[in-house]
Structure 1
Amino acid sequence: MREKLFRWESILVLLCVAVFAWGSASTPGFAEADNVSFLLLDYTEVALLALALLPIILTGQIDLSVASIIGFCSALTGVLWNAGMPFETIVPIVLVAGAVLGSLNAALIVRFGLPALAVTIGTLGLYRGLAYVVLGDGAVTGFPENYRPIAADNLGGTFLPYATLLVLIVGVLVAVVVHHTPVGRSLYAIGLGEQTARFSGIRVDRIKFTLYIVSGVLCAIASLIYTLRYNSARADNAYGMELIAVAAVLLGGVSIFGGRGTVFGVASALLLMAGLRNVLFLNDVTNEIQNVINGLLLIVSVLVPVVANLIRRRRNPAPAAEPGPPPQETLPDPVGATAAHGTPEEDQR
């Protein structure tokens, strides 16, 4: 019971309760249904990016280009809409574009063996630059009203937005795959030791390639929701969102080195960050201060597991090896040497 209470996921749940209790007590309107809907809707795209990053980080990899893929897909949506293409046709094209961008990351990382951090930092700038090439620095608006409720309205008059329902569905699917399938066990095995996983018969390259493609598709879905929700397609949409998504994943207890973490932990971290952001927003805290807080959360999320491991090692030090008998000095055996090589006279002969 004590171990469950002090698990990181349990601490996150307690922090969520504390933030929501603080917001309800200190901020007028925080607990109202409309504000809760806004709170959930505000983190829709971040949640989709976090769910895309979770399996990748479990394998010890990273993808910092996720927000730039949103920007490119949003720009592509605007260009195709300006060209008079029906929105029903734009959606599959954008999804394919996201898959292509994800596969380019996968090809550079998996096929050419390049470091994921360096590759995705490069494609972060590349994809964002392509978005400006495609659309420029302007904006496209006037998207069909019959699709906007999917990204902005609530389900059946409740406080639950349709977009949040989509996030819940994706989250359940990711949880099932990660925690209840052989693929999920393979993700943890790759994160704990890629070479060992290969020797165990796990198709490491295929799994990593697929993860980046799925990440690209989820980013494309997030771009469609983002574009419809704000009714604006811009090349700078979701700028900087990759850091918030990474912070949510790491704050949720996923090890940056791979091999450890849960979907429930990431979901708790997302709810905690959404609640904290909403409280700060309602209290007129500037975006600069919110960025500082997000940076601190990112540092804390990396620092906490390291400190926890140090404390654990000090409490449970490795048992010292029992002193054995001193090594006996071996002397040369002249008899054995003579038997092996013969006498000097025989050797000369």
Structure 2
Amino acid sequence: MSDTARHIPDRLESRAARLLKSWESLLLAVAVGIFVANSLASPYFLNAWNLSDATFNFTEKAMIAFAMAMLIIAGEIDLSVASIIALASTAMGAAAQMQVGAPVLVLIGLGVGLACGAFNGLLVTGMGLPSIVVTIGTMSLFRGISYIVLGDQVFKGYPSEFSYFGQGYVWWVISFEFVLFAVLALVYGVLLHKTNFGRAVFAIGNNPTGALFSGIRVQRVKFILFLLTGLMAGVASVCLTSRLGSTRPSIAFGWELEVVTMVVLGGVNILGGSGTIPGVVIAAFVMGLVTFGLGLLNVPGIVMSIFIGVLLIGVIALPRLWAMWRG
């Protein structure tokens, strides 16, 4: 038997072993466990329409998480995404009061998201400011504008066709939002793992100076990542506003914490340099199943918020605790 024939099974076995030991495999096992626990805890969980409703707990946040994952892998972060949703929703609401049609409303939502992402990107890549400081500032700025425009008022009166983006179904219990989530997961998976742009993102996250000297336009790549994050916040704003049918300045309040938690739970290193889109997809399902299961059991929202905070701290601390235990 030739050496090649003898070593192919070993490589396949090694690849399978790495897959079984990966963070994604552990997350998948956790997701299955939560699914089983929810089905035992509530007789209503396995209803097809209830399972469909469960997807609304994570699809909009996951759309942002895909772009956020790439941004964090590159060593940056955007904490203004929830406020971008609020500002984009406010702009769409103001336009809806002028009897603007659904296609224009969608363009407005996406345009505001892109503009906010560009603003963050220019401050970080153009002026060299730390992204965490910039986006904490714009987090207050964007939502503050929404509060100035709306105050304690609510924008309603969206056209009936606009409701499809957040309430429509493509087939039976398969919602438009879930299909969009699946398509974006595929797009970002290919972008990060199968393209030169994705390889540049990993290179920047591991060694930005080395990436620069290897010919990668570091600031340009980071600016594009901020654009993508803003755009995904705009997409989420369209879906969320459509699903709620109204706009308040408090819309999506606190989502930035859940999006970052979803990314880190998916195995993305908060310090940059590593992570996968499949991991983020599985983490989205885990968080969606947990929050939906707690909702079926009538657990108060504040308890869910505590859970999200503890989960974020735990996931960040786990690698350090594991290293200390092994050392």
Q: Normalising by structure 1, what TM-score?
A: 0.87
| Contact 1:251-1:300 within 8 A present in 2 as well | no
Q: Does 1:85 align with 2:100?
A: yes
Within 5 Å, give how 1:1-349 maps onto structure 2.
1-157=16-172, 159-310=173-324, 314=327
Distance 1:183 1:310 in 2: 35
Deviation per CA, 1:144-199, whole angstroms, max 9, x where unpaired? 22231331132221x22111100111111000010000110111110001111101
Q: Secondary structure at the match of 2:161?
A: coil
Q: Does structure 2 conserve the Cα–Cα contact (< 8 Å) formed by 1:78 and 1:234?
A: no
Amino acid at match of 1:61: E
Tell me if the contact between 1:76 and 1:135 (Cα under 8 Å) persists in the aligned partners.
no
Instruction: Name the stretch that deviates more: 303-312 or 65-74.
Output: 303-312
Name the SS for the 1:42 alignment partner.
coil
SS at match of 1:155: strand
Distance 1:221 1:5 in 2: 34
Single out whichever of 191-200 and 147-156 deviates more from structure 2: 147-156
The answer to whether the Cα contact below 8 Å between 2:59 and 2:284 also exists between their aligned partners in 1 is no
Q: Structure 1 residues 188 and 309, CA, compared in 2 at 3 Å: closer, same or farther? A: farther
Kept after mapping to 2: 8 A contact 1:49/1:242: no
Question: 1:303 is matched by which residue type in structure 2?
Answer: A
Q: Distance in 2 between matches of 1:242 and 1:195?
A: 29
TM-score, normalised via structure 2 length: 0.92
How far apart, CA to CA, are the structure 2 residues paired with 1:303 and 1:83?
Answer: 50
SS at match of 1:122: helix
Aligned 8 A contact 2:88 2:108 in 1: no
Aligned equivalent of 1:327: none
Which residue identity is paired with 2:243? R
Distance (whole Å) between structure 2 residues aligned to residue 155 and residue 52 of structure 1: 25
Taking the aligned partners of 2:284 and 2:59, their CA distance within structure 1 comes to 10
**How many Å apart are 1:311 and its aligned residue?**
5.1
Give the count of matched residue pairs.
312
Distance (whole Å) between structure 1 residues aligned to residue 78 and residue 181 of structure 2? 20
Q: SS at the partner of 1:186?
A: helix
Cα distance between partner residues in 1 of 2:215 and 2:105: 40
Question: Aligned equivalents of 1:137 and 1:266: distance in 2?
Answer: 36
Find the counterpart in structure 2 of residue 335 from structure 1: none
Q: Identity, % of aligned pairs?
A: 36
Instruction: Supply the distance in 1 between the matched residues of 2:210 and 2:324 (Cα, whole angstroms).
Output: 26
Structure 1 Cα separation of the partners of residues 211 and 324 of structure 2 = 27
Show CA shifts across 1:206-237 (max 9, x none).
00001111111111111111111010112211
Q: In 2, Cα distance between the equivalents of 1:308 and 1:186?
A: 29
Larger radius of gyration: 1
The answer to whether the 8 Å contact 1:78/1:135 transfers is no
